[in-house]
A = this chain, B = another copy of it.
Amino acid sequence: MSSDSAAIECLALEKKLGHKFKDPRILVQALSHRSVGSPNNERLEYLGDSVLGCVIAEFLYHQFPKLPEGDLTKMRAALVRQKTLSILARDLNFPAHLIMGSGEVKSGGYNRDSILSDAFEAVVGALYLDGGMSAVKNVLGKLYKDLLKTIKPAELEDSKTLLQETLQKQELSLPVYQVIAQSGKAHSLTFTVSCKVPGIESVFIATGNSRKKAEKSAAALAVEALNK
């Protein structure tokens, strides 16, 4: 798409975002992939990445007033990861709004998760420059409404559950956890736990200041290995 027709397209996107840009050029820049040369959306993506993380961090902070920071961090990661952002970008019809070089267009770049999520971050950066934190919160509050309604710390946080599910999908047996070492003084013990999966040779070993934490870490290692 040319920059000219892009300006018209931007009107439709502004409507979807629910934000009228004082300076629409910045929205055009946010949608410009580096394949068009300069200016493009790379610097806005850098800014938007931080702004997005900050706003989602705050949403979760208020929504889950009792939750420890570890759970909040994991939920935030789920809400800002490439896959999530590319889904939101498609809902906003970004593939039709992206401005990119013909080579990228031919190779289907307008529908690539990485390019869509980068552009999403860039648009957040553009919103921030154009309307400040309140504009970003407004727009993201609407875009993330459903995701925030359904997100649950439980689903994310428990790597033991995740491991169990992963194993069931692959029709493997359930894991066996064992404390293989315990060190330190009574008030500051360190537990070393092994996680074995029957039928799999590798043993996953992790430590933690509680048995449960060590088990979770070991399970996380196992999930990582199984997903490779």
Contact = CB atoms under 8 A, between A and B. Distances in A.
Contacts of A16: none
B57 A69 contact: no
A61 B73 contact: no
A69 B38 CA distance: 13
A42 B54 contact: no
- Give the copy number: 2
A187 B103 CA distance: 10
Contacts of A68: 42-43
24 contacts: A42-B68, A43-B67, A43-B72, A45-B69, A46-B57, A46-B73, A47-B57, A47-B58, A47-B61, A49-B57, A50-B50, A50-B54, A50-B57, A50-B58, A51-B54, A51-B57, A51-B58, A53-B53, A53-B54, A54-B54, A58-B128, A103-B187, A132-B133, A133-B133
Contacts of A67: 43
Interface residues on A, range: 20 to 34
Interface in A22-47: 42-43, 45-47
A45 to B, nearest CB: 6
Interface string A116-157: 000000000000100011000000000000000000000000
A128 B133 CA distance: 12
Contacts of A76: 50
Contacts of A54: 50-51, 53-54
Contacts of A45: 69
Nearest to A76: B50
A69 B50 contact: no
Contacts of A69: 42-43, 45-46
A132 B134 CA distance: 10
A124 to B, nearest CB: 11
A103 B53 CA distance: 34
Q: Top 4 A-B pairs ranked by shortest CB distance?
A: A46-B69, A50-B57, A54-B54, A50-B54
